[in-house]
């Protein structure tokens, strides 16, 4: 890997000035490297993070037929990575005009990384730096513990898609809640409601008594109030303390739970394993936002590379070549889903609507198609609006909120279906639906969504077994993978592990009212419990 | 319809057979077709696949498969050549063995096998693969049914068909075995390496030499001959001995307990040298006959299985005999014919009726004619779906018995049709003959279902080639 030459760097700096003028916000420093085939060979297994820890699976072709992106929710061919400074990679024979286009694309990505709130947890540190120290730690551990380090990495990676990404995020930007003391919060929010289940009039009376006590005794009011409470409920103080101790460590995911509570990992000779788990968890958390903002991120970058390239005065005369490459990147395929094309069009569409003030109550109230079309408040707020979207949304919200029937009609979008023609033994691809409801569902179904698996402390008690509960979302788990994943968890936990999940009992085409077979499926589910004990898996129906 | 075939059919019909058999054989008889080659599409592993043309090119591309390096710069990881990876295959296998000892299940699989092409004979492609198991949703649990699969744009009414794709690409009916589709990152490995992997990874038995060592026309060169006066390497011990002898005869040594080497007379021809010489190589060599039923009933999966297994066996033998394996490929329907290379063997279309005896007879005749027994360990592997117009094995069994007098091993693979529940003709008459028990050291049979996977194939090979019979599962 080599840095780009001074000439090209100068072009990049020019791009930064123009991008900033247009409103993009990003840190000053960036690093651009030329990559050769050889570099790519090493970089792609490490998801373009040059300093990622070594792991043997990186060197093997991995079977990915089942749930490729569920297993590897990150992009091996990223051009720019979300580090401080941001690092981007280039072919060494790109012509200048192409580099200008790519630079704008990259700058828009960096802007997205550094402003979208789903990346909030990656803002305060440089991932490559952390990764490098983690890589060294793992290398050192490997020197000491040999292949066992790789087993621990393997087992930890087996559950790294269950990291509590959203709960991690939710710890940022919380409103400060120091207006009332935690004692008061507990008394009114938890104790009275969940412990005592008091009637509403009792509750209101208590609030009134509290307020009176405050006005009467001022700063001593609260103390006075609770001395009364303790007389009435002698157990209150103990329950409160218990509540505090429980709340101290918010457990966000399975990896963290194991680190805190596993009897095996907390043995003094096994403490090093927790370091490995920590590394795997951190790495996984880092990559979570990328896959959840693919359409937005690529759409945003495509929107800007086009807008900024066409305004750039330095590369006049390359419009035709640009148009060709740009079309290859951002054309809507006849069949298929291109996130660049989709995201870019959606941003453009939203900007246009917002410019005309169509995201407003007045507009929503108009039912006349002609009037709707002609509606224009000259609001001119489009840019501002899409900037706020790039800050606040992820793919799910973006698609779910803004993809509408008018957009579908404008770009002639449809859902493609596939069916078997048995006479001719061909798969037919056909226009299945032009309804926004179906199209939206099709996209949302394709979005990355790991299973939601919780630890059930109530059922975990018996003989140290860990009880995991997979929340039912009308999707079964890939059954081939259950055994080895649970084997890993059992090793890390040191006791049997149970997993409650759902299986398909039968699938049949749903019968229509008059006995016709319809498109819809009638799926019967059953709840099952897997138990991994002493490395062998058993299953029972619940 | 082929007259000869019809005649044959009637002659068998005269002997009578069950309705089920009649149905089966008639189907074969009526299936039109010839044994021309199925040409796999020329190397379709398109490096710039992301810019592929064609309507449906991106139909199955997940939205996460688009990425900047590829879309904007057309940059991607280059393919890895197998030479650079061989070491790592060894390492991987070693690691995997260690896993098992540590009490965890093995993780490396020999993945896809891409079948040999015409160029570069004996080449197969091995992909050591692994999978990282996690709890993930199974998105395909209802895939077989009609589904909205992806997005599209452009004109067309709802319900309008906008494109189609053959269900079985590159074939249609009567294919040879399907061709593997190569993706990026496959390592190409020679059949020899595959054999090595099979032997080590799957603990396929090592072959015992049965004392049939014969000299080949192959020579090795070694410093084995001695020569006096000149040569390549001085043999000091022998030289000293000769000098001593000479000096003793000359009477220059009076007291053997007190020798003064400085007083020796040294004649030039006392110097004994080692000299490079040609040595005949004594190594066992093997001749393998691969017989494949390419009758019409073999269409589809059975052919694929049989051929895939034969690739594996071929590789294994190649390794066992350190490359000293000659292979002959014989295809048969009602008549047997030898083809020149694996490519033809692999890719010939299925058609016609079935007479297993023809293939065995052909091998017997060839062995006889070329006097192969003298020089070779002979292996015969036969792959079929078990259908045979010779329902009682009246012709086949004598041929097999004859073969048993000279072969090292006969392995019969039956890839059973899923509709076949009662067992096929071949299976029945071979079992009935009792040869499997009587000559368990020489004759093995492996029966698998149509839907067997690679692991099952390898299991089958163990059964076919192991020293001790493996109990059928």
Which of A184-188, A345-349, B312-316 shows the lowest per-residue confidence on average (mean pLDDT)?
A: B312-316
Distances in Å between the alpha carbon of A113 and those of A110, A296, B426? Answer: 5, 11, 66
Enumerate the β-bridge partners of residue A517.
Answer: A511
Residues A514-533 as b/e (b if ≥16 CB within 10 A, e otherwise) read: eeeeeeeeeeeeeebbbbbe
By the CB < 8 Å criterion, does B145 face chain A? yes
Q: What is the pLDDT of residues B21-70, one digit of tens each?
A: 666 666 666 655 556 555 443 333 333 333 344 566 666 677 777 888 87
Q: How far apart are CA B390 and CA B429, in angstroms?
A: 10
Q: What per-residue confidence (pLDDT) applies to A230?
A: 85
Interchain contact, B72 vs A339, CB within 8 Å = no
Q: What per-residue confidence (pLDDT) applies to B213?
A: 52
- Counting residues of chain B whose pLDDT is more than 70, the rounded percentage is 59
Q: How far apart are CA B312 and CA B461, in angstroms?
A: 8
- Angle between helices A395-402 and A436-446 in degrees, nearest 10: 180
Q: What per-residue confidence (pLDDT) applies to B180?
A: 34
Q: What is the pLDDT of residues A18-44, one digit of tens each?
A: 999 999 999 999 999 998 887 887 787
Q: Tell me which residue of A284, A13, A270, A36 sits closest to A157, measured CA to CA.
A: A284
Q: How far apart are CA A387 and CA A117, in angstroms?
A: 12
By the CB < 8 Å criterion, does B58 face chain A? yes
Q: How far is A226 from chain B (nearest CA, A)?
A: 48
Helix, strand, coil abundance in chain A, percent, nearest 5: 55, 15, 30
Q: Scanning every residue of chain B, which has its alpha carbon at the shortest distance from the alpha carbon of A336?
A: B59
Q: What per-residue confidence (pLDDT) applies to B15?
A: 64
What DSSP assignment string belongs to A197-216? ---HHHHHHHHHHHHHHHHH
From the number of C-beta atoms within 10 Å of its C-beta (0-12, 13-18, 19+), residue B321 rates as buried
Q: How far apart are CA B3 and CA B20, in angstroms?
A: 23
From the list A62, A337, A443, the residue facing B130 with the nearest CB is A62
Q: What is the pLDDT of residues A302-338, one digit of tens each?
A: 999 999 999 988 888 888 999 999 998 898 888 888 9
Q: Tell me which residue of A390, A400, A389, A386 sits closest to A443, measured CA to CA.
A: A400
Please check the confidence at residue A112 and state whether its pLDDT lies above 90: yes
Interchain contact, A329 vs B71, CB within 8 Å = yes
Q: What is the CA radius of gyration of chain A?
A: 28
Q: Which comes out higher in pLDDT, residue A467 or A182?
A: A467
pTM: 0.70
Which of A3-7, A144-148, B174-178 shows the lowest per-residue confidence on average (mean pLDDT)?
A: B174-178
Is residue A71 within 8 Å of A47, Cβ to Cβ?
no
Q: What per-residue confidence (pLDDT) applies to B188?
A: 35
Q: What is the pLDDT of residues B83-95, one digit of tens each?
A: 455 556 667 777 8
Enumerate the β-bridge partners of residue A421.
Answer: A426
Q: How far apart are CA B368 and CA B402, in angstroms?
A: 11
By the CB < 8 Å criterion, does B64 face chain A? yes
Mean pLDDT of chain A, nearest integer? 87
Which 3-state string (H, E, C) describes A225-256?
A: HHHHHHHHCCCHHHHHHHHHHHHCCCCCCHHH
Q: What per-residue confidence (pLDDT) applies to B122?
A: 44
CATH class for the domain made up of B76-131+181-199: alpha beta
Indicate the Cα dihedral angle B387, B392, B394, B399, nearest 10°.
50
Q: What is the CA radius of gyration of chain B?
A: 30
Interchain contact, A416 vs B103, CB within 8 Å = no
Interchain contact, A442 vs B148, CB within 8 Å = yes
Interchain contact, A328 vs B71, CB within 8 Å = yes
Q: Give which of B60, B63, B139 to mutate to test A binding, by max A Cβ within 10 Å.
A: B63
Residue ranges of domains in chain A: 182-247, 337-446, 453-541
What ipTM was reported for this prediction? 0.82
Residue ranges of domains in chain B: 76-131+181-199, 202-213+284-465, 216-281
Enumerate the β-bridge partners of residue A497.
Answer: A466, A532
The domain over range B202-213+284-465 is classified in CATH as 2.40.180.10: no
**pLDDT, average across residues A32-57:** 84
Q: How far apart are CA A260 and CA A255, in angstroms?
A: 9
What DSSP assignment string belongs to A386-425? HHHHHHH--HHHHHHHH--HHHHHHTTEEEEEEEEETTTT
Q: How far is B143 from chain A (nearest CA, A)?
A: 10
Interchain contact, B156 vs A429, CB within 8 Å = no
Is residue B463 within 8 Å of B472, Cβ to Cβ?
yes
Q: Which residues of chain B have pLDDT under 70?
A: 1-5, 8-9, 11-60, 76-90, 109-129, 142-148, 166-219, 280-285, 299-300, 322-324, 342-343, 346-347, 349, 418-422, 451-455, 467-473
Interchain contact, B150 vs A35, CB within 8 Å = no
Q: How far apart are CA A489 and CA A156, in angstroms?
A: 8
CA angle A78–A80–A83, rounded 5-degree value: 120
Q: Tell me which residue of B378, B380, B342, B341 sits closest to B359, measured CA to CA.
A: B380
């Amino acid at each position: 890997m080599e840095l780009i030459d001074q000439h090209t760097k100068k072009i990049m700096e020019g791009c930064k000035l123009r991008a900033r003028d247009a409103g993009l916000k990003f840190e000053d420093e960036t690093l651009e490297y030329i990559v050769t085939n050889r570099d790519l060979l090493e970089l792609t297994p490490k998801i373009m993070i040059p300093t990622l820890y070594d792991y043997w699976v990186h060197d093997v072709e991995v079977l990915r037929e089942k749930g490729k992106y569920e297993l590897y929710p990150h992009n091996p061919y990223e051009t720019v990575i979300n580090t401080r400074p941001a690092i981007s990679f280039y072919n060494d024979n790109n012509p200048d005009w192409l580099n200008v286009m790519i630079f704008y694309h990259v700058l828009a990505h960096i802007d997205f990384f550094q402003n979208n709130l789903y990346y909030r947890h990656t803002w305060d540190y440089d991932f490559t730096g952390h990764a490098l120290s983690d890589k060294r730690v793992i290398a050192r551990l490997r020197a000491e513990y040999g292949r066992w380090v790789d087993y621990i990495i393997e087992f930890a990676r087996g559950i790294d898609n269950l990291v509590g990404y959203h709960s991690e995020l939710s710890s940022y930007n919380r409103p400060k809640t120091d207006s009332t003391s935690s004692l008061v919060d507990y008394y009114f929010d938890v104790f009275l409601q969940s412990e005592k289940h008091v009637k509403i009039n009792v509750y209101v009376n208590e609030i009134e008594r509290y307020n009176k006590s405050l006005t009467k005794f001022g700063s001593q009011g609260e103390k006075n109030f609770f001395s009364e409470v303790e007389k009435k409920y002698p157990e209150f103080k103990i329950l409160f303390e218990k509540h505090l101790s429980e709340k101290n460590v918010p457990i966000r995911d399975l990896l963290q739970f194991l680190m805190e509570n596993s009897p095996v990992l907390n043995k003094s000779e096994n403490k090093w394993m927790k370091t490995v788990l920590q590394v795997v968890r951190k790495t996984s958390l880092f990559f979570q936002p990328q896959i959840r903002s693919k359409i937005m991120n690529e759409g945003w970058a495509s929107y800007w590379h086009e807008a900024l390239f066409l305004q750039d005065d330095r590369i006049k005369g390359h419009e035709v070549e640009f148009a060709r490459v740009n079309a290859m990147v951002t054309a809507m395929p006849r069949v298929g889903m291109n996130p660049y094309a989709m995201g870019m069009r959606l941003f453009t569409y939203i900007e246009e609507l917002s410019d005309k003030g169509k995201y407003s109550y007045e507009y929503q109230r108009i039912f006349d198609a002609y009037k709707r079309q002609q509606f224009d408040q000259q609001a001119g707020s489009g840019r501002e609006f899409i900037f706020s979207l790039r800050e606040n949304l992820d793919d799910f919200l973006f698609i779910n909120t803004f993809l509408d029937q008018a957009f579908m009609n404008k770009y002639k979008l449809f859902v493609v279906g596939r069916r078997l023609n048995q006479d001719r033994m061909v798969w037919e691809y056909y226009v299945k639906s032009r309804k926004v409801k179906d199209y939206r569902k099709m996209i949302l179904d394709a979005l990355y969504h790991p299973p939601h698996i919780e630890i059930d402390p109530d059922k975990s008690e018996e003989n140290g077994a860990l009880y995991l509960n997979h929340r039912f979302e009308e999707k079964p788990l890939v059954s081939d993978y259950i055994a080895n994943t649970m084997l890993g968890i059992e090793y890390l936990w040191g006791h049997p592990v149970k997993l409650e999940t759902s299986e398909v009992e039968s699938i049949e085409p749903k019968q229509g009212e008059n006995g016709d077979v319809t498109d819809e499926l009638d799926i019967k589910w059953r709840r099952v419990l897997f138990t991994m004990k002493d490395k062998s898996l058993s299953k029972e129906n619940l | 319809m082929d007259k000869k075939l019809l005649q044959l059919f009637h002659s068998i019909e005269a002997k009578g057979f069950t309705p089920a058999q009649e149905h089966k054989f008639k189907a074969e008889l009526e299936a039109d077709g010839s044994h021309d080659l199925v040409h796999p599409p020329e190397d379709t592993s398109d490096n710039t696949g992301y810019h592929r043309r064609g309507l449906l090119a991106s139909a199955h591309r997940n939205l996460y498969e688009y990425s900047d390096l590829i879309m904007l710069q057309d940059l991607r990881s280059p393919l890895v050549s197998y030479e650079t990876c061989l070491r790592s295959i060894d390492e991987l296998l070693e690691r995997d063995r260690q896993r098992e000892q540590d009490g965890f299940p093995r993780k490396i699989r020999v993945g896809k096998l891409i079948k040999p092409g015409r160029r570069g004979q004996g080449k197969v492609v091995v992909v050591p693969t692994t999978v990282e198991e996690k709890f993930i949703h199974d998105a395909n649990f209802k895939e077989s049914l009609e589904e909205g699969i992806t997005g599209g744009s452009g004109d067309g009414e709802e319900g309008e068909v906008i494109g189609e794709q053959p269900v079985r690409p590159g074939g249609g009916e009567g294919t040879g075995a399907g061709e593997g589709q190569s993706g990026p990152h496959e390592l190409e490995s020679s059949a020899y390496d595959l054999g090595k992997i099979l032997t080590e990874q799957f603990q396929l038995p090592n072959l015992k030499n049965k004392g049939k060592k014969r000299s080949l026309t192959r020579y090795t060169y070694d410093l084995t001959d001695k020569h006096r006066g000149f040569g390549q390497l001085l043999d000091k011990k022998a030289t000293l001995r000769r000098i001593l002898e000479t000096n003793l005869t000359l009477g220059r040594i009076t007291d053997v307990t007190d020798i003064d080497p400085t007083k020796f007379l040294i004649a030039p021809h006392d110097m004994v040298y080692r000299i490079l010489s040609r040595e005949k190589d004594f190594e066992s060599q093997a001749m393998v006959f691969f017989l494949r039923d390419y009758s019409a009933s073999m269409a589809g999966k059975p052919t694929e299985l049989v051929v895939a297994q034969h690739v594996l066996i071929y590789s294994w033998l190649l390794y066992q005999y350190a490359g000293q394996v000659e292979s002959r490929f014989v295809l048969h329907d009602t008549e047997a014919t030898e083809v020149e290379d694996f490519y033809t063997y692999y890719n010939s279309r299925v058609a016609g009726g079935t007479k297993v005896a023809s293939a065995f007879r052909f091998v017997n005749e060839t062995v006889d004619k070329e006097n192969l027994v003298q020089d070779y360990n002979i292996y015969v592997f036969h792959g079929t779906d078990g259908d045979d117009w010779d329902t009682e094995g009246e012709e086949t069994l004598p041929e097999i018995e004859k073969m048993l007098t000279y072969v090292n091993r006969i392995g019969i693979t039956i890839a059973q049709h899923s509709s076949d529940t009662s067992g096929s003709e071949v299976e029945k008459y071979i079992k009935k003959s009792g040869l499997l028990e009587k000559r368990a050291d020489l004759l093995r049979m492996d029966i698998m279902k149509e839907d067997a996977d690679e692991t099952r194939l390898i299991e089958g090979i163990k059964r076919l080639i192991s020293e001790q019979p493996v109990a059928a599962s």
